[in-house]
Amino acid sequence: MAKIKKVVLAYSGGLDTSVILKWLMVEHGYEVITVTADLGQEDDLDGVEPKARKTGASKVYIEDLRAEFARDYIYPMMRAGAIYEGRYLMGTSIARPLIAKRLVEIARAEGAQAIAHGATGKGNDQVRFELAINALAPDLTVIAPWREWDLMSRTALTEFAERHGIEVNASNKHYSMDRNMLHCSFEGGELEDPWEEPGPESYIMAVPVEKAPDEPEYITIDFEKGDAVALNDRRLSPMEMVMELNRIAGKHGIGRLDMVENRFVGMKSRGVYETPGGTVLHVAHQDLEGICLDREALAVRDTIMPRYAAAVYNGFWFSPEREAMQALIDKSQEGVTGSVRLKLYKGTAWPVGRYSPHSLYCHDLATFEECATYDHKDAAGFIRLQGLRIRGYADRVKRFHG
């Protein structure tokens, strides 16, 4: 492996990654190129380049990845109906493979030998970043300072920053947060006690339900092959769709989740997640599938969904199993075209109507009125056949117990 001279660093401009930038230079003598991804987190990124250069970066990339993120990562995951442990829509998980992909692309373009990240040794993100890099560029070295250095506290990081002239933001964030266009996550603070109610600072994308409007709002989402393409008859790109639904759903307090989850590394972690637009998309898509997907096709999709969700959560986006599952899922979505009307009110999105040109719903069969295409007498034979094994089992039990 080539000697490391140049490193590409995933850089946010915060305390941790600023210290990492200087640490790579001071402790190892590396030339450091920073990469900051704009994923719709709505942060002011204007100060990122001046700070990175002042800290010592030789080159600064600020990448607008919003459109690619929505189109190639969020939407495929939404088609899969993927939720982790039955609740979590994985807003952080799905962003990591895209960031890693861009880090690799820039490392190749710049002739770098290594990629560095600021994920800690306790979390899932170190796994997600590094598995993605392994898949895309196994020859590149990965540097994870939190697993190497002795700066193991906020105090130690601050002291290092002050010694090296790194500007330290005086405001002390109450939570460890990660935000992009799909969600915002909160960890730390009072959330480390699973019994404590989340504080008021854990509301950014969605209002508290008590402050949501007292009147419901109705919206209609149109889908084509499993992808949302129009909102209230207005065509939108995937990025526009997610961001507009965030605005609408957020004001109704939709998409908040407080849960204790199982991290891939083995520990349990309590987090609060806000996913307003993603929650509405998930609810609408799931509802439309009810009239578009064949029963057994839906059952197969639902069978693999937990495996798909685990692949995303655990960092296996660029894996043969996720790609194979995606192909099956995308095939199942070919007929998922139509419209869903939803009622948004006080933290909840209810589907109240759905239509599809590919609907498998047959009014003549479902009606309680007289139906010429269904003979009730046929059900007797169906039940007799279904009961063969049950009757056989009952006879065996009877013989066994005398």
C-alpha 401/C-alpha 149 separation (Å) is: 69
Q: Of 338, 348, 180, nearest to 249 (Cα)?
A: 348
C-alpha 172/C-alpha 185 separation (Å) is: 17
Q: Taking the C-alpha atoms of 209, 211, 216 and 220 in order, what is their torsion angle to the nearest 10 degrees?
A: -70
C-alpha 28/C-alpha 7 separation (Å) is: 11
For 294-344, give the DSSP string: -HHHHHHHHHHHHHHHHHHHHT-SSSHHHHHHHHHHHHHGGG--EEEEEEE
C-alpha 239/C-alpha 228 separation (Å) is: 11
C-alpha 158/C-alpha 172 separation (Å) is: 11
**Neighbour tally for 296: CB within 10 Å:** 8
What are the catalytic residues? 16, 96, 125, 176
Which residues are bridge partners to 63 per DSSP?
Answer: 37
**C-alpha gyration radius of the chain:** 25
Which residue's entry shows tokens 């504080």?
199
Q: What HEC string does 53-99 produce?
A: HHHCCCEEEEEECHHHHHHHHHHHHHHCCCCECCCECCCCHHHHHHH
**Run of H or E residues at 15:** helix 15-28
